[in-house]
Amino acid sequence: MRTMLKSLLLVVTAFALVWSGWATPALGQSARVDTVSNKNFEATVKQLETTLRAKGMIMVATIDHQNMLRMVGGSIKGSKTFEFGKPDMLKMVMPSDPAAGLEMPHKIYVHERADGTAVVSYYKPSGGFGAYGKDQLKMVGEMMDKMFEEIVTDATK
């Protein structure tokens, strides 16, 4: 009976640690960045697209979650994911480790809260690239972190 109680306590404690975010993230999982925009959803999306193009990014895909949900009778406020890349960055990544191609294209997500506030979210590229254990990829990830911060700052000001 005592062993069973100890096991149960261990399971409950482990669950509580994971649930509360105290557990260590998985290797390669990067920090999520959420930035509240000073603009509404539509203006934030438009400025994000403009800024991405101005930085030389190629738009790979725009996923309109709001529209997709409408197709199946669902309804949410504004919600879009932008997938993008820059050929120069790809050129720096692939020779170091072709497996790092999994980290590209990059994604930035914009959604509208119930109160109408727009939020721009992304995972820092350095986390994904850092998991490969190569200095070149670590450097590229850190460079991309700065670029993402500039892009999001411009889109949300």
> Which CATH number covers residue 43?
3.30.310.70
20 within some domain: no
**Is the pLDDT at 20 greater than 90, yes or no?**
no
pLDDT at 41 over 70: yes
Per-residue pLDDT band at 59 (split at 50, 70, 90): very high
For residue 11, is pLDDT > 90?
no
Task: Answer whether residue 78 shows pLDDT above 80.
Answer: yes
The structure's pTM equals 0.80
State the residue range of the domain holding 96. 28-156
Q: How confident is the model at residue 157, as a pLDDT?
A: 96
**19 within domain boundaries:** no
pLDDT 10s digits, 107-153: 999 999 999 999 999 999 999 999 999 999 999 999 999 999 999 99
Please report the pLDDT score of residue 116 as a whole number.
Answer: 96
Is residue 54 one of the residues assigned to a domain?
Answer: yes
Domain for residue 10, yes or no?
no
**Rounded CA separation 109/123 (Å):** 10
Rounded Cα gap, residues 142 and 130, in angstroms: 9
Q: Structural domain tally of the chain?
A: 1
